[in-house]
């Protein structure tokens, strides 16, 4: 139905955002910086609320959504870093510029996600919101042949849990 149509792009973008989390984790492995950067989180949320307002999205809906996106990103990072710490090494990679390259990439993706959030806004009013979201993630997993217990899917459920007003 309609929910399926409008939630698909948001789920795809959320998965893309989590994929960038892999890069962020590698940069933090190299720099030794903490996963959590509260000042950056505040900047991400403030920017999202401002962009959301121009798309007629309520601050509460935008904040709840991007908070969950950030929490899911940290889940990915903590899991990857712990895995690398246990083995003693991370996958080989070229130097990563978090502030010059990765965060601007997250910012560009966010602009796209605000538009997708606006397209999906009618689902917020549905009593089936949470079910629709859970099914949208399930469809993504099925299409990509990911097991539901696979970390990217677990993180995607976490990331999308902020979409609905009640989840």
Ligand X SMILES: O=C(O)C(=O)C[C@]1(C(=O)O)C=C[C@@H](O)C=C1
Min dist CB 103 to ligand X, Å, is 5
Segment interacting with ligand X, rule: CB under 6 A, options 33-41, 56-64, 115-123, 133-141: 33-41
Min dist CB 55 to ligand X, Å, is 19
Q: Are 9 and 112 in contact (CB under 8 A)?
A: no
Inter-axis angle of helices 151-160 and 2-31, to 10 degrees? 120
Segment interacting with ligand X, rule: CB under 6 A, options 39-47, 80-88, 124-132, 153-161: 39-47
Q: Give residue 43's Cα distance to chain centre.
A: 16
Tokens of 109: 């993706």
Asked if 156 interacts with ligand X (CB under 6 A), we say no
Asked if 74 interacts with ligand X (CB under 6 A), we say yes
Asked if 106 interacts with ligand X (CB under 6 A), we say yes
Determine the Cα–Cα distance for residues 158 and 15; give it in Å rounded to an integer: 11
- Closest by alpha carbon to 116, among 57, 58, 166? 57
Determine the Cα–Cα distance for residues 23 and 76; give it in Å rounded to an integer: 10
Segment interacting with ligand X, rule: CB under 6 A, options 35-43, 81-89, 115-123, 136-144: 35-43
> What residues make contact with ligand X under the rule CB under 6 A?
24, 35-37, 40-41, 44, 70, 73-74, 103, 106
């Amino acid at each position: 139905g309609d929910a399926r149509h409008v939630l698909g792009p948001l789920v795809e973008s959320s998965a893309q955002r989590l994929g960038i989390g892999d890069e962020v984790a590698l940069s933090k492995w190299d720099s030794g910086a903490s996963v959590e950067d509260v000042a950056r989180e505040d900047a991400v949320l403030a920017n999202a609320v401002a962009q959301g307002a121009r798309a007629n999205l309520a601050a509460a809906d935008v904040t709840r959504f991007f908070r969950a996106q950030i929490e899911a990103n940290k889940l990915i990072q903590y899991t990857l870093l712990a895995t690398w710490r246990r083995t003693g090494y991370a996958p080989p990679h070229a130097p990563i510029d978090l502030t010059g390259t990765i965060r601007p990439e997250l910012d560009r993706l966010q602009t796209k996600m605000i538009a997708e959030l606006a397209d999906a806004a009618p689902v917020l009013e549905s009593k089936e919101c949470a079910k629709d979201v859970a099914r949208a993630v399930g469809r993504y997993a099925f299409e990509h042949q990911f097991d539901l217990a696979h970390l990217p899917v677990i993180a995607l459920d976490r990331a999308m849990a902020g979409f609905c007003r009640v989840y």
